[in-house]
Amino acid sequence: MNLSGYEIGNFFDEMFEDDGRPRAAVRPLVRKIESLSPGELASRQLAADRALVQAGITFNVYGESAGLEKTLPFDLVPRMVTAPEWERIEKGLKQRIRALNLFIDDLYHDRKIIKDRAVPPEIISSSKGFREQCVGLNPPRGIWCHITGTDLVRHGDGQIYVLEDNLRCPSGVSYVLENRRLMKSLFPEVFDASKIRPVSNYPIHLRDMLEYLVPEGSATPRVVLLTPGVYNSAYFEHSFLAQQMGVELVQGSDLAVFDGFVWMRTTNGFERVDVIYRRVDDDFLDPEAFRADSMLGVPGLMAVYKSGNVALANAPGTGVADDKVVYAYVPRIIKYYLGEEIILPNVPTYICAEAEGLAYVMEHLPELVIKAANESGGYGMLIGPHATAAECAEFAKRIKADPRNYIAQPTLALSRVPTLINGLLEGRHVDLRPYVLYGRDIFVLPGGLTRVALKKGSLVVNSSQGGGTKDTWVLANDPATAEQTQTQGGLTTGGGQT
């Protein structure tokens, strides 16, 4: 396949230098793509799509009638990250999650950071993620955010920025694992030549981390994954992770609380549960503590949690730091708790709750991206340069009515990766969500979900808004830590034609 027609455009391209030469790290891949006959890439793409449908790697789209599942579009051209770059990302993420964890713990205890005026008190009173029920709570091992997915982007200046923190129930890691499995079967030769770090041990790390949280005195620790059920959009992932970790996938109705513990109903009677990896939002976790109308939760769960007889991951109440306004203060938060400068910078953010920020935003609306503080999935967003005057006016009204609920950022020129569109490679904008596990130590999965906006020119990568995914290849410094495929190492099989 001839790549000479590929247009880099006026963007940072993850695969090519500005002058069109492939970056050093991607050369084996580029050589491979160039060696394929026209149409070969498309036919491998087709094979990948078919494999996804057959394996039922699907998500449910809200609003579609039951039984209609879609596959998340997968593009087979991977996104690469070099070893030194990844080292910095990993350091930055560890710093960030350590600070955010201290921040959450402080907010639910002494609130020193507010007393010291490093952040304004409104940060709590106006946060939708703050949970009064968690005040004074001491989660097992002092950890609040066990599983984090942090969205990163690269701007036209070549710098990696943190776009947002997902501290509640970040999803998508199942696609990272499945995408890799697919890519290894489609391009084994490139894996051998490129020294790519493996991701398949994520479920092992996840289970280890969860078992670390087991309350003292439990002889046969039992970990379960709590799902809202088959109609949840991420049900496939819940089922996949439970299967990969070898733990039970439970729904609220499978659990009961009595005699001081959480139990699950089995064909052999009740069995005790020690750790719950919950993929149910705080509000629905326990109708006695949170929303009384929740049918998904377990009545009495919070009481057992507070007594220390069950662990929850993530802890309830972490949403307070998963707020787009708090995001803006993260550099100050890191400085306050760790005394360090932020390693991975935030995107410059204008806080509408602050008079200065609001004034700037109102004047520069058509240049900015406006985000509602507590929305996710690409909803409640305005991309100024792509919006009509009427849309801008409408958002201006909304911001004035509730400034605390909005932040604004300059429109970023997200970097692009070649993507197969109608048989040809075209540049498409991407972001990157690495996954971080916080247990005995902090583990950053070397890889992550690269989301790609498949629509030409689009900057919205969310799956609910026409986004797809790519495999993310983090290159190994040390070849010993790279992926092994069966062709490597000269494995011989006995017998045969010799």
Partner 1 sequence: MLSRVADSIYWMSRYVERAENVARFIDVNLNLMLDSPATDQQWQPLVNITGDHADFAKRYGPVASSQNVQQFLTFDRENPNSIISCLRAARENARSVREIIASEMWLQLNTFYLMVNSAAGSGKGIESRNNFFTEVKLASHLFAGLTDATMTHGEAWHFCRLGRMLERADKTSRILDVKYFILLRSVAEVGTIYDDVQWAAVLRSASAFEMYRKRHGRISPMAIVQFLLLDEEFPRAVRFCLNSARDSLHAISATPVGPHRKPAEKLLGQICSDLAHASVEEIVKGGLHEYLDALQTNVNRASTGIYERFFATRVPESAQPVKEKRQ
Per CB under 8 A, contacts with partner 1 among 194-213 are: none
Interacting span for partner 1 (CB under 8 A) from 6-14, 115-123, 168-176, 249-257: 249-257
d(CA 227, CA 244) in angstroms, rounded, equals 15
Query: Does the footprint of partner 1 cover residue 248 (CB under 8 A)?
Result: yes
Helix (H) or strand (E) holding 75: strand 74-81
Distances (CA, A) of 161 to 46, 329, 410: 34, 15, 12
Residue 288 or 354: the one with the smaller Cβ distance to partner 1 is 288
Question: From the list 84, 229, 377, 423, which residue makes contact with partner 1 (rule: CB under 8 A)?
Answer: 229
Query: Does the footprint of partner 1 cover residue 296 (CB under 8 A)?
Result: no
Question: From the list 9, 56, 142, 377, which residue makes contact with partner 1 (rule: CB under 8 A)?
Answer: 56
**Shortest Cβ distance from residue 251 to partner 1 (Å)?**
7
Please provide the DSSP assignment of 287-319 as one string: TTTS-TT-SSS-TTHHHHHHHTSSEEESPTTGG
Max CA separation in the chain (angstroms): 80
Query: Does the footprint of partner 1 cover residue 249 (CB under 8 A)?
Result: yes
Query: Does the footprint of partner 1 cover residue 42 (CB under 8 A)?
Result: no
Question: From the list 140, 198, 203, 300, which residue makes contact with partner 1 (rule: CB under 8 A)?
Answer: 300
d(CA 44, CA 52) in angstroms, rounded, equals 13
Query: Does the footprint of partner 1 cover residue 295 (CB under 8 A)?
Result: no
- In degrees, rounded to 5, the angle at the alpha carbon of residue 365 between the alpha carbons of residues 364 and 371 is 125
Peptide bond into 477 cis (omega under 30): no
Query: Does the footprint of partner 1 cover residue 51 (CB under 8 A)?
Result: no
**Shortest Cβ distance from residue 254 to partner 1 (Å)?**
5
Phi, psi torsion values for 84, nearest 5 degrees: -65, -35
Question: From the list 251, 405, 415, 469, which residue makes contact with partner 1 (rule: CB under 8 A)?
Answer: 251
Buried/exposed code over 349-388 (b: 16+ C-beta within 10 A; e: otherwise): bbbbbeeebbebbeeebbebbbbbbbebebebbbbbeebe
Residue 189 or 288: the one with the smaller Cβ distance to partner 1 is 288
**Shortest Cβ distance from residue 286 to partner 1 (Å)?**
11
Query: Does the footprint of partner 1 cover residue 142 (CB under 8 A)?
Result: no
**Shortest Cβ distance from residue 168 to partner 1 (Å)?**
23
**Shortest Cβ distance from residue 486 to partner 1 (Å)?**
22
d(CA 260, CA 346) in angstroms, rounded, equals 44
Which positions ≥6 away from 103 have C-beta within 8 Å?
Answer: 113, 321, 333, 337
Query: Does the footprint of partner 1 cover residue 240 (CB under 8 A)?
Result: yes
Query: Does the footprint of partner 1 cover residue 243 (CB under 8 A)?
Result: yes
Using CB under 8 A, count the residues that bind partner 1.
36
**Shortest Cβ distance from residue 267 to partner 1 (Å)?**
4
d(CA 342, CA 91) in angstroms, rounded, equals 10
Indicate the SS3 state at residue 78.
strand
The full length of the chain comes to 498
**Shortest Cβ distance from residue 207 to partner 1 (Å)?**
15
Interacting span for partner 1 (CB under 8 A) from 197-205, 240-248, 404-412, 420-428: 240-248
Query: Does the footprint of partner 1 cover residue 267 (CB under 8 A)?
Result: yes
Tokens of 347: 């995107």
Q: Where are the alpha helices (DSSP H) in 165-300?
A: 173-186, 188-194, 202-212, 235-245, 282-285
Interacting span for partner 1 (CB under 8 A) from 154-162, 168-176, 295-303, 332-340: 295-303
Tokens of 237: 């992932």
d(CA 353, CA 361) in angstroms, rounded, equals 11
Query: Does the footprint of partner 1 cover residue 254 (CB under 8 A)?
Result: yes
- Chain residues in the site for partner 1 (CB under 8 A): 54-56, 66-67, 136, 229-230, 239-240, 242-243, 248-251, 253-254, 256-260, 264-270, 300, 302-304, 306-307
